[in-house]
Amino acid sequence: MSIGKKSETVKVVVRCRPVNKKEEAMSHEKIVEVDVKLGQVSVRNPKAAGTLLKTFTFDAVYDMLSKQHELYDYSCKPLIDSVLLGFNGTIFAYGQTGTGKTYTMHGLPTDSEKQGVIPNSFQHIFTHISRSQNQQYLVRVSYLEIYQDEIRDLLCKDNCKKLELKENPELGTAVCVCDFL
């Protein structure tokens, strides 16, 4: 995997999932190539003649064989460390349905090697807090889904409730989460 610059405020990280069983059964051809050292993803148009590739460069790239802890350690842990220093942090998973966002974010909670970003972040935060002395912490977490232009709070009891974006002169643009804001 490639490791992005630590001084950047926003990092764009790409993880490419392996071909699934349905795609294998349908003999879909592989059109994505990943260069983890260069942080590049190349995509080939299967309908175009020849092997014309479009290549994109990112702060970090994880290939089809990447492990959950690799992605967390290099792309998320530094952000969580800054959160523990009092800064705000956001991890944003984006992609089409079926591209692996849920696996990357949740993983398999019963398998410590396959736990995703969320359980690893919580473990990191609460281990740090438990080892701290003479320090108080306030932990706030939001877990939102934006799907088809609708926002849902996945931690709210009524997560079917559609949320709205609101403008606040002091806070800026914010999502009203469970009547908290």
Q: Which residues belong to the annotated binding site for ATP?
A: 95-102
| Burial (CB count <10 Å: 0-12, 13-18, 19+), residue 90 | exposed
| Residue-wise DSSP of 57-97 | E-SEEE-TT--HHHHIIIIIHHHHHHHHTT----------T
For residue 55, the SS3 value is strand
Alpha-carbon span 47 to 34, nearest angstrom: 20
Return the half-sphere exposure (C-beta side, CA atoms, 13 A cut-off) of residue 91.
25
Other beta carbons within 10 Å of 34: 21
The CA distances from residue 33 to 22, 56, 67, 143, 152, in Å, are 20, 11, 18, 31, 34
Alpha-carbon span 107 to 97, nearest angstrom: 16
